[in-house]
Chain A
Amino acid sequence: MPKTQEKARLLETRRVADDTHRIVLYAPRITATARPGQFVMVRIASEGADPLLNRPFSFHRIHKDDGLFEILFRVVGRGTWLLSQRKEGSSLDVIGPLGNAFPMPEAQEEIVALAAGGIGIAPMVELGYRLADWAREKDSRQVFLFYGARTASELVPLGKLERRGIRASFSTDDGSRGSCGTVVDLMDQSVRESGLLPQRLYACGPLAMQAAVAAWAHEKDVRATMSLESVMACGIGACLGCALPAAHPDDSSRARHVHVCKEGPVFDSRKILWEKMEPTPVRPLTFVCS
């Protein structure tokens, strides 16, 4: 799929949850070949060199017929704050589609689950719609969504996703919505109650949650497909800045890296050396705009 640099028009910007924004971009050339799981690099500065680097965002929704896609992001620093302030009608330089896509379930897989933590819901929604269509093709197919956040006001409304037959359940750290606990607690609870263990898990979220989901999947011998993030400069495999520690198939003591933009952002959980992963620092919101 060819990568494109395109001037996208910002058609709509909306705050959809605490510090969480959704923007709709008209970029027909990028949208034409976009697949769920892939991402775009968005230029934040409208002019000049500050902030210098583009920011990566996964496709939240892809509307092929209209030439539009949506991105969903949380304000975690100056770049995302500036993006949240962009006005409707303005244009942004966007490069995409980049990276690999979520693989659809294999022929023998019938029960699949999505696990999302916080802003990790972003790439899961487009995938959720695709899986809803996939599930409708056969009665025995089922799709679960486990979605957790710190508190209820951080949960992003899921639109029509639930009406499409996805079995969604929620968790919050403070119990303000759904069950009180983590996404992994929610997965345990669901398996206990429904008696259905997913054969494949798609996950995206903060590092601690992803690592816990990977461990859960490993223990239960469930195939886990993760969308991961990293600080990125180019997004096209040139700078090699977005390296993550990779599990070496033969020798775990040997250093090896995978690159989020090139081999990812979607990885089989077994390819990652979870114990060597470092969380991306998040700046407390009070200091973001100052």
Chain B
Amino acid sequence: MGKDGTHARSAPDLRVQLGPLSLKNPVLTASGTFGYGQEFSDFLDLARLGAVVVKGISLEPRPGNPPPRIAETPAGMLNAIGLENVGVERFVAEKLPYLRKRNATVVVNILGNSEEEYAALAERLEDEEGIAALEVNISCPNVKEGGIAFGTDPRMAARVTEAVRRKTTRPLITKLSPNVTDIALIARAVEDAGTDIISCINTVSGMAVDVFSRRPKLANILGGLSGPAIKPVALRCVYQVVQAVSCPVIGIGGIQTALDALEFLLVGASAVQVGTASLVRPTSAVEILDGLERFLRHQGLASVREYIGTLDTSCRFPLAEETCAGDE
């Protein structure tokens, strides 16, 4: 609160602290939905975003999966891009300098086929300027090796996290998959292995078929579901992870509006990533940021931090208190 008690009228403080990572605001882009940032520079100022999380980078360029790679589903989309990317060398030579020039806060999403590849990527990026954090992708459902193979087994997830941890001094984010029986188990494993931050969720494994051609709608047959359709699943996962770990959490999944973003902050996410919404409306992330600020003013909050994790789960009906709080 300001000295004169007029905090609601001054601009709310949007800064968030995620362990070692300081961000100017809690609105980030989600990997795979924002290219390398440059694709969006006609539509918004990259420097305004909490961070730009770039398309997942591997050691070598990857051609990705054969087409068709996209199928629309009710309030969502399935994709099986297959981690097509330019590879770390071209990223460093061509993409990163542009992001630096635009004063973007950059988070580099990394992926590999083995622990060694993840470690080598972290090492390769360690001395490059203009990287705020690494996000370890152990949750892509669309490739056979790497990706989700590491994300569904707590021991493997921990080993990849440890391998990257040993090679980087930068803030480390580990991105989790919802396609597991107990996400809290994986979350605790990567926290114990040294991750600073957990982001979740990646896409939800799904499928679509065409009844006329009798063909799957994706060449890969299975794909990852994203968009508003997955928001309740994402919210549940973030809530469970927040309960399970003590490190900060970034919420991802179906966020289209500021109110969606606030739901994730409410259950305890310290920041959010905007994904599919950017594909449909390139200005989504900054519009969500503006909406967040409006909401905080409306609620008379001086800082977004006052709102994070304030979900009230106390019993709503005092007469039913025994059953609400019951042990059974």
Contact = CB atoms under 8 A, between A and B. Distances in A.
A38 interface: no
Contact of B279 (A53, A230, A256, A278): A53
Contact of A257 (B43, B63, B70, B72): B63
A239 interface: yes
B155 interface: no
Interface string B211-222: 011010101000
A230 B67 contact: yes
A50 B43 contact: no
Contacts of B212: 281, 283-284
Contacts of A257: 63-64, 67, 84
Interface stretch (A1-9, A59-67, A119-127, A163-171): A1-9
Interface string A238-249: 111111110000
Contacts of B79: 233, 239, 241
Contacts of A145: none
Contact of B66 (A4, A245, A281): A245
Nearest to A53: B72
Interface in B57-71: 63-64, 66-71
Nearest to A233: B279
B279 A239 contact: yes
B130 interface: no
A189 to B, nearest CB: 33
- Chain A CB count within 10 A is highest, among B32, B66, B67, B213, for B67
- Chain A CB count within 10 A is highest, among B72, B227, B283, for B72
Given A43-B280, A236-B40, A281-B210, A242 B74 contact: no
Contacts of B213: 281
Contacts of B81: 239-241, 243
A281 B218 CA distance: 11
B228 interface: yes
A232 interface: yes
A222 interface: no
A172 to B, nearest CB: 24
A276 B63 contact: no
Contacts of B281: 5, 43, 93
Given A50-B74, A52-B76, A281-B212, A240 B64 contact: yes
A11 interface: no
A234 interface: yes
B320 interface: no
Interface in B15-51: 32-35, 39-40, 42-43
A186 interface: no
B70 A256 contact: no
Contact of B75 (A3, A49, A276): A49
Given A4-B42, A231-B71, A238-B33, A243 B64 contact: yes
A95 B256 CA distance: 18
A255 interface: yes
B276 interface: yes
A240 B66 contact: no
Interface in A238-285: 238-245, 254-257, 276, 278, 280-281, 283-284
A256 B66 CA distance: 9
A54 interface: yes
A51 interface: yes
Contacts of B194: none
A95 B282 contact: yes
B273 to A, nearest CB: 14
A50 B75 contact: yes
B278 interface: yes
B96 interface: no
Contacts of A3: 42-43, 282
A250 B67 CA distance: 21
Contacts of B68: 230-231, 278, 280
Contact of B84 (A54, A231, A240): A240
Contact of A276 (B66, B69, B276, B278): B66
A237 interface: yes
Contacts of A243: 64, 66-67, 69, 81, 84
Given A2-B42, A49-B256, A283-B212, A239 B70 contact: yes
A43 to B, nearest CB: 7
A234 B81 CA distance: 13
Given A49-B228, A230-B67, A243-B81, 10 more contacts: A4-B42, A43-B281, A50-B75, A52-B227, A52-B228, A93-B281, A233-B280, A238-B34, A238-B40, A240-B55
Interface of A: 2-5, 43, 48-54, 79, 93, 95, 230-234, 236-245, 254-257, 276, 278, 280-281, 283-284
7 contacts: A50-B75, A53-B72, A53-B280, A231-B72, A234-B282, A257-B67, A278-B68
Ranked nearest first, the 4 interchain pairs of A and B with the lowest CB-CB distance are: A241-B70, A238-B35, A234-B279, A255-B63
